Amino acid sequence: MFKAIIQKILEHYVRRYFAKHSEVRLIVVTGSVGKTSTKRALASLLSQRYRVRMHEGNHNTEIAAPLAILGIDYPTSLHSVGAWVSIFRAARQRVRSATDVDVIIQELGTDQPGDLAKFGHYLSPDVALLTAITPEHMEFFGTMDAVAKEEMSVSDFSKFVLINRDDVDSRYADYETNPNFSTYGTTGAAEYRFEQMDYDVETGYRGSIIAVNHESFPVTINVLGEHSLRPVMGAIAAGLLMGLTPADIVSGLALIKPVPGRMNVMHGIDGTIIIDDTYNSSPAAAAAALQTLYSFNQAPQRIAVLGSMNELGETSQSEHETLGMLCDPGLLAWVVVVGDEAANHLAPAARQRGCQVKVCRDAIEAGEFVRSVTEPGAVILVKGSQGGIYLEEAVKILCNLTEDDELVRQSEEWMKAKDGYFSRFK
């Protein structure tokens, strides 16, 4: 009851804020994967011309989103009356004061059917970016059609929608209710797309941007893996809609850096390259990460460290088996797995294909094992999830100590939680 009252009051202040400051544009980002990379890339681009508010961290839940939109810190205790009195005072001040931003970028998350519709009660975004429709929280959604209906429902309360043509299957088009939409990506079917010329691991992808109502223009995008281009293309599409020039786009792209734990290239021991993709794992992202590992065709050795993919519900076995069958024995020296689902389903499938597989009890053992078998110059993909996997701790064993600050989940709170988790294996 208390939380519901707080929620209503916060929504009230957000509505008042946009009524008072109609010049402020709101862009929301939703989708199964790629939300954080997309919003951060977009903030980098828009900062070339606009004052931007975009909160880091988990600000996509029902009660956190209005606070993030208003630029007010999340309270340390949800049940502190004094804290909420201070927050409401800050919200009133935010409404009354001259605005300090031109654009607000807000991530919207969903855990179960109907979550996105709740945001529509008080938000009317100028632009919504839909990054992907892939398996997520399948214990609640059950089917991919249910996931698609949920993610597409952002169209019901948005003025314009940008859809990732690469990661949203065309069969879900029937769920698009808003006639004002366009598509982006790396496929030739997208209205806003990147056409690649060449690639270099140091400088990234060189190519051209093809966009609606714009002449094509050359860009360099320094990311790893074709699937990492898609969040950037979403940002470029939204940026062009917001009035950015090609020059703004080019200068903004120079500011984009990999998000920690998301296809971040790190330097390892003996000249090895670590691809740190440990923030989260899903079937589409894991498959794309493997393909990126395979593209290092000059590497003397390739190793894939794969953790269980969480929140897949009844599809978990088949999705892990599918990923295991994507492990190519001709391209991988080792497949190292962590987590029950990976051990029970991914590992047998990889062995069936002929891969050399090592099952490890936790991330620490995985890191120590990989270090023991790694050759100089090897390329190592580390792809994991959050709960019960924590493969960033394997990366910590493999990378140079100077790069530890690039890892995810290294705060005092996270390290305390992980110490408790890993202690069970001692």
Give a yes or no: residue 113 inside a domain: yes
**253, 276, 308 - which closes a domain:** 253
State whether 246 and 281 are in the same domain: no
Q: How far is it, in rounded angstroms, from Cα 44 to Cα 239?
A: 10
What is the identity of the amino acid at 170? Answer: S
Give a yes or no: residue 273 inside a domain: yes
Of residues 304 and 74, more confidence is placed in 304
State whether 290 and 354 are in the same domain: yes
Residue 58 banded pLDDT, cuts 50, 70, 90: low
State whether 23 and 160 are in the same domain: yes
State whether 271 and 244 are in the same domain: no
**201, 232, 253 - which closes a domain:** 253
For residue 300 the two structure tokens come to: 């003397």
**253, 276, 295 - which closes a domain:** 253
Q: Which residues contact 76 (CB under 8 A, 6 or more apart)?
A: 83
Give a yes or no: residue 211 inside a domain: yes
Could you report how far apart the first and last alpha carbons of the chain are, in Å?
A: 43
Digit-coded pLDDT (tens) for 181-211: 999 999 999 999 999 999 887 789 999 999 9
Domain span including residue 132: 2-253
For residue 22 the two structure tokens come to: 């109609």
Give a yes or no: residue 306 inside a domain: yes
What is the identity of the amino acid at 270? Answer: D
Digit-coded pLDDT (tens) for 326-343: 999 999 999 999 999 999
What is the identity of the amino acid at 130? Answer: L
Q: How far is it, in rounded angstroms, from Cα 275 to Cα 264?
A: 6
Give the count of domains, the chain.
2
Digit-coded pLDDT (tens) for 219-238: 999 999 989 999 999 999 99
State whether 32 and 126 are in the same domain: yes
Digit-coded pLDDT (tens) for 138-189: 889 999 999 999 999 999 999 999 999 999 999 999 899 899 999 999 999 9
DSSP, res 131: -
Packing angle between helix 283-294 and helix 316-325, nearest 10 degrees?
Answer: 10
Give a yes or no: residue 206 inside a domain: yes
Q: How far is it, in rounded angstroms, from Cα 358 to Cα 9?
A: 53
Give a yes or no: residue 379 inside a domain: yes
pLDDT value of position 65: 94
Give a yes or no: residue 258 inside a domain: no
pLDDT value of position 258: 79
What's the CATH number where 398 sits? 3.90.190.20
Q: How far is it, in rounded angstroms, from Cα 351 to Cα 364?
A: 22
User: Taking CA 412 as the corner, what is the angle to CA 410 and CA 417, rounded to the nearest 5 degrees?
Assistant: 85
State whether 334 and 363 are in the same domain: yes
For residue 17 the two structure tokens come to: 């804020």
Mean pLDDT over 278-285 rounds to: 92
Of residues 125 and 297, more confidence is placed in 125
Q: What is the secondary structure of 140-199 as a DSSP string?
A: HH-SHHHHHHHHHGGGGG-S-EEEETTTS-GGGGGG---SSEEEEESSTT-SEEEEEEEE
State whether 210 and 353 are in the same domain: no
What is the identity of the amino acid at 365? Answer: E
